[in-house]
Structure 1
Amino acid sequence: MTTSTARVLALLEILQGGGLRTVPDLAARLGVDERTVRRYVGHLLDLGVPVDSVRGRHGGYRLAAGYRMPPLMLTDEEALAVLLGLLAGGRGSSVGSAAAGESAAAKLRRVLPKPLARRLDALLETVDFTARPDTRTAPEARVLLELAEAARDQRPVAIGYTDRQGRAGDRTVRPYGLVAHAGRWYLTGADSVSGEVRTFRLDRITALTVQPGAFVVPAGFDPVATVLEGLARTPWTHEVSLRVRADLAHLRTRLPAGLATVTPLADGGGDGDGGSDGDAGWVRVRLRAERLDWIPPLLAALDRPFVVEHPAALRDLVRALARRLDEYAADGGP
């Protein structure tokens, strides 16, 4: 969707809110000049949308009385997929928020045929989701969409970027592709500062301007493989190594994907202090982390025997958590 098309649809959305809208107000909300607003109104008229023009000092535009958007023609399965995707996606989305998903779902329900809307409302009143809303910072929709256009059109972009150490700087990037991974969006492309192909987190981009010029993406370039390889090479503050007595399926559903690797130990790996877990053997778990404080609760939730190999600081944090839990469980509380 082009930028002008998106703004015409945004104009229609504003007018559907009701009331008379002045040209200066519409221009400010759409980020265009007043002449462009009038051109967008012409596009709506060409599409058969009845927009009334009110002349005079306090004039402007409004939708004709009684006009309603026609019902959205979706099958039951399509409507169900879209609505549940909006609501469930907001709880683990890498774009926007749960509130944005619920707002979009409400707008969609308003234009569905009434019989289908009633059936879907009954479902939404009885359904719930186990995933909590994602509290991580998501990239602005504008940043994501403008980068997508720049990557498609092979146009360089100037960005303001804050790295993982908190250092802010400016650079020019040739955007080769966008990748969504583990709840985050990443941009991969050639970086003007290092001269190499780099990976950037979109939520760390503080400014974005599309630059003149063009480039060619290297033949056979794979954005997904590049992002995953870049993340694997990223240095972390802590490299954690553990031995855990548990089956692989139990661990893989409870450890963070992308940060933990699990390897069975052929020699058993135990040292006689681990107890038993049925027929489960010992496995080595390696974790990468910027902080250690979230790992002891994770180990407690595993509910399996484990041995901290390194770092030693993690052992101290585990013992501190064990003491707190023991105090909390004591008669009368701590």
Structure 2
Amino acid sequence: MSQDLPARMLRLLSLLQMRRTWSGAELATRLGVTLRTIRRDIDRLRDLGYPVEGTTGTAGGYRLAAGTGMPPLLLDDEEAVAIAVALRTATSGVTGIEETAVRALAKLEQVLPARLRPQVAAIQATTAPLPVPWSTGPKADPTVLATLAAACRDHETITFTYRTGAGETGPRRAEPHALVAAAPVWYLVAYDTGLDTWRLFRVDRLTDPTPTGHRTTTPRELPAPDAAAYVAARLAAAPTRYTLHATVPADAATVRARTYALHDRVHPLDETTSTLDLAADNPQHIAEQLLGIDLGPEDTIHGTPELAPHLEQLGQRLLRAARALTRQNGTGADSNGAAGR
């Protein structure tokens, strides 16, 4: 057995874990060996229990298939530490993710090399996830996410049942493109073959995703620079009950940072002035976004008239709090809340 064989086998296994299918020629080129050597190494992996499948034809190649058990994963130092950080801070909108992450982290720690344990231990000792109120919301099923992710990766058409915002439920058939996590909601960007158009599907409203076995050799071109940009544009254009348009005396980057507005909601007029478009079904959301900025002249503010009483209500609450603090200060309390002499 060659002295380089163990390292080559590990490298081969790592490549098989990176993407779904490799041709024998691609693997041989990557490893700098012959096709005959690749075939032998594949057989060795199979003898070790790795379910490597081989297919023939123009689209043939090798892939690491699902087996009866989870085969060992190969991680470099940076990948292992990155996974430990992600597991420790996992609070995304997926059902049961926190408990599952703790179990996975415990397993990872058992097999970590000694040189990495101090780093992961430091992360454990100094990191604590804090679920924030604005990140709570609908949860996606992890099994559904896994099925959709695999379909996106393999460009495989899927069918599923979908419930719209109006409560209507029906079957869908789509070519999945990507998953986008817009905390706390997960979205599937896909081409709806029934409606012949690109669509945005909320994963928490999607059930029974089923791969059809039909794969697209040339995926459709998304009408956006990337999936995240597509989701942001669709959300910005979605109809809502309340809207507000205003001119803001600040640059666009500052306005986006202070209002947490989507990119397409803020447009620069010049280096010091921007326009802001806010929209929501809950007026409280718009009111909270406005708290972070100073608005321009009143004649540059337009929107849904029914939004006005909600903004006034929030303003009155803040004004009452300010008056209470003023009265407190007037009775002898200093700015730190201590009694005056």
Tell me the TM-score normalised to structure 2 length.
Answer: 0.60
Q: Secondary structure at the match of 1:286?
A: strand
CA 1:202–1:248: 2 relative to 1, 3 Å = same
- What is the aligned-residue RMSD (CA, Å)? 3.9
Of 197-206 and 101-110, deviating more is 101-110
Distance 2:222 2:142 in 1: 25
Distance 2:167 2:253 in 1: 37
CA 1:281–1:157: 2 relative to 1, 3 Å = closer
Number of residue pairs the alignment of both structures matches:
254
Task: Name which of 284, 290, 293 aligns with 2:281.
Answer: 290
Deviations 1:247-269 (A, max 9, x none): 43332212234266223446xxx
Deviations 1:266-310 (A, max 9, x none): 6xxxxxxxxxxxxx944321122222222212222x152455421
Residue pair 1:160, 1:205 contacting (<8 A) in 2 also:
yes
Residue pair 1:182, 1:258 contacting (<8 A) in 2 also:
no
Equivalent position amino acid for 2:303 in 1:
H
2:187 is matched with: 186
Distance 1:226 1:104 in 2: 33
Matches within 5 A, 1:29-40: none
CA 1:132–1:80: 2 relative to 1, 3 Å = farther
Task: Name which of 239, 249, 253 aligns with 1:249.
Answer: 253
2:146 is matched with: 145
> Per-residue deviation at 1:182?
2.9
CA 1:81–1:151: 2 relative to 1, 3 Å = closer
Matches within 5 A, 1:210-221: 210-211=211-212, 213=214, 217-218=218-219, 220-221=221-222
Task: Name which of 304, 309, 316 aligns with 2:294.
Answer: 304
Correspondence 1:258 to 2:262: yes
1:202 is matched with: 203
Equivalent position amino acid for 1:298 in 2:
Q
Equivalent position amino acid for 1:327 in 2:
R
Equivalent position amino acid for 1:143 in 2:
V
Higher share of residues assigned helix: 2
Correspondence 1:107 to 2:107: yes
Tell me the TM-score normalised to structure 1 length.
Answer: 0.61
Distance 2:154 2:120 in 1: 39
Residue pair 2:157, 2:176 contacting (<8 A) in 1 also:
no
CA 1:196–1:73: 2 relative to 1, 3 Å = closer
1:22 is matched with: none
Equivalent position amino acid for 1:80 in 2:
V
Aligned structure 1 segments of 4 or more residues deviating by more than 6 angstroms: 69-73
Equivalent position amino acid for 1:284 in 2:
T
Residue pair 2:162, 2:171 contacting (<8 A) in 1 also:
yes
Matches within 5 A, 1:98-137: 98-114=98-114, 116-127=116-127, 132=132, 134-137=135-138
Distance 2:284 2:324 in 1: 27
Equivalent position amino acid for 1:316 in 2:
P
Distance 1:331 1:221 in 2: 54
> Per-residue deviation at 1:320?
0.8
Residue pair 1:244, 1:282 contacting (<8 A) in 2 also:
yes
Residue pair 1:71, 1:113 contacting (<8 A) in 2 also:
no
Residue pair 1:176, 1:217 contacting (<8 A) in 2 also:
no
Distance 1:116 1:321 in 2: 50
> Per-residue deviation at 1:241?
0.6
Q: Secondary structure at the match of 1:324?
A: helix
Distance 2:287 2:214 in 1: 51
CA 1:195–1:247: 2 relative to 1, 3 Å = closer
> Per-residue deviation at 1:143?
1.4
Distance 2:176 2:166 in 1: 25
> Per-residue deviation at 1:162?
1.2
Distance 2:285 2:230 in 1: 28
2:239 is matched with: 235
1:322 is matched with: 315
Percent sequence identity is 27
Q: 5+ unaligned residues in a row in structure 1: which ranges?
A: 1-42, 49-68, 267-279
Distance 1:100 1:118 in 2: 23
Distance 1:287 1:259 in 2: 11
CA 1:164–1:216: 2 relative to 1, 3 Å = farther
Deviations 1:153-212 (A, max 9, x none): 554322111112232222222x24113253344333342542333222222202223336
CA 1:119–1:188: 2 relative to 1, 3 Å = closer
Residue pair 1:240, 1:310 contacting (<8 A) in 2 also:
yes
Equivalent position amino acid for 2:240 in 1:
W
CA 1:103–1:329: 2 relative to 1, 3 Å = farther
CA 1:296–1:230: 2 relative to 1, 3 Å = closer
Equivalent position amino acid for 2:309 in 1:
D
> Per-residue deviation at 1:113?
3.3
